[in-house]
Amino acid sequence: MKRSLELFIIHLLFAIVLFTSTAMSNPQCPPGFTGYLEYPDNCYKFLQCDRGSTFVINCGPGTAFNPWTNVCDWPENVPSCYVDGEGTIDIR
């Protein structure tokens, strides 16, 4: 009985960790929302939402998602990205 309880707790903890890591790595649109959202921690992607369904879209080469205009734009025009002095693009 004690062993069964230990296994149950281990499986429960594993499920919690798996769910948490999956939820953090797979951003979702709010229920019922239609429109575009920034992709967390990656300015080269965005979320296209259709009544709560989530589609992850990559911007074209050399462009980043601009949340002010809802289009892929030059990185220097995007508030969540910036180009350093060496031309490297980083996320703010």
Please report, to the nearest 10 degrees, the dihedral formed by the alpha carbons of residues 73, 64, 58, 23 taken in order. Answer: -140
Full domain range(s) for residue 7: 2-91
Task: Give the max Cα distance, the chain.
Answer: 64
Each residue's pLDDT tens digit, 34-51: 999 999 999 999 999 999
Task: Report pTM.
Answer: 0.64
Contact indicator for 36, 49 with CB cutoff of 8 Å: yes
Find the CATH number of the domain harbouring 54. 2.170.140
Query: 66, 86, 37, 67: which is closest to 76 by C-alpha?
Result: 66
Structural domains counted in the chain: 1
How high is the mean pLDDT of the chain?
78
